[in-house]
Each structure stands twice: as structure tokens, then as C-alpha cells.
């Protein structure tokens, strides 16, 4: 899967979880850029991403995401 395709699906996940159709994420996006992205929503986001791509993050990974780009790197390595 190309990085663009991953982003296409990932944007859908973000739009669903934050219920905002205008959200677009990129490599440099962090929790600071999205108003509702707090630690509780982070859980929902991770679970939704796992479902969408049918993958499982391990504990170290979930703790280490610094931005969306790092999450995408892991997704690509997993699928």
C-alpha cells in the first residue's frame, strides 16, 4: 500500500473518531493540532486505526508516536 493510500484511509479514521469531515492529517500532525485529541481520545484513535488496517500496535509503539508520520511508518511496515 502506498503512503498516499494509507493517508486516504487514515483520514477517514480521524474524521470518524473526531466526527469532523474536514480533518486532514499529514506526517507532521500531532495531538496539538486537533482540538479533541486528548489521552482518552487517543485510545479510541489507536483502536480505530488497528481495526481499519487490521493490525495490532504493541505497547512500546503506542507510547512512542510523536506525530502521525511515525504512526504511518509503523502501519506501512505491518501491512
Partner 1 sequence: MKELQYPFDVEYILTKKKRIRRQLLADNSKRIKKKIAILGGYTTNNIKLILELFLLNYGIEPEFYESEYNQYYQDAMFENSELENFKPDIIYICTSNRNIIRYPSIQDSNDDINLLLQDEKNKYYSIWDSISSKYKCPIIQNNFEMPFYRLLGNKDASDIHGKVNFLTRLNMFFYEYAQNHDNFFICDINYISADYGLKEWSDPFYYHMYKYALNVNAIPYLSFNIANIIKSIFGKNKKGFVLDLDNTLWGGVIGDDGKDNIVLGPEESEGQVYLEFQKYIKETTQLGVILNINSKNEEANAMEGLSHPDSVLQKDDFVCIKANWEPKDKNLKEIAASINILPESLLFIDDNPAERYIVTEHVPGVIAPEIGEVHQYIQNIDRGGYFETTTISSDDIKRNEMYKENIKRAELQASYDNYSDYLLSLEMHSTIKPFEAIYMARIAQLTNKSNQFNLTTRRYSQADIEKVALDKDYITLYGKLTDKFGDNGVVSVIIGHKICGECHIDLWIMSCRVLKRDMEFAMMDALVKQCKEANIKNIYGYFYPTAKNAMVKDFFEMQGFVKIAENENGNTKWIFSIDDSYKNKNSVIKVEE
CB closer to partner 1 out of 2 and 40: 40
CB of 55 to partner 1, least distance (A): 14
CB of 79 to partner 1, least distance (A): 18
CB closer to partner 1 out of 28 and 36: 36
CB of 69 to partner 1, least distance (A): 21
Point out which residues bind partner 1 (CB under 8 A): 13, 16-19, 40, 43-44, 47-48, 51, 59, 62
**DSSP assignment of the chain:** --HHHHHHHHHHHHHHHTT-TT----TT--GGGSTT--HHHHHHHHHHHHHHHT----HHHHHH--SHHHHHHHHHHH-
What grid cell was written down for 26? 499529514
Amino acid at each position: 500500500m502506498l503512503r498516499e493510500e494509507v493517508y486516504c484511509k487514515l483520514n477517514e479514521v480521524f474524521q470518524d473518531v473526531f466526527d469532523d469531515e474536514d480533518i486532514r492529517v499529514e506526517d507532521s500532525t500531532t495531538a496539538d493540532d486537533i482540538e479533541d485529541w486528548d489521552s482518552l481520545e487517543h485510545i479510541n484513535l489507536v483502536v480505530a486505526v488497528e481495526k481499519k488496517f487490521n493490525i495490532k500496535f504493541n505497547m512500546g509503539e503506542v507510547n512512542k508516536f510523536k506525530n502521525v508520520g511515525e504512526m504511518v511508518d509503523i502501519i506501512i511496515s505491518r501491512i
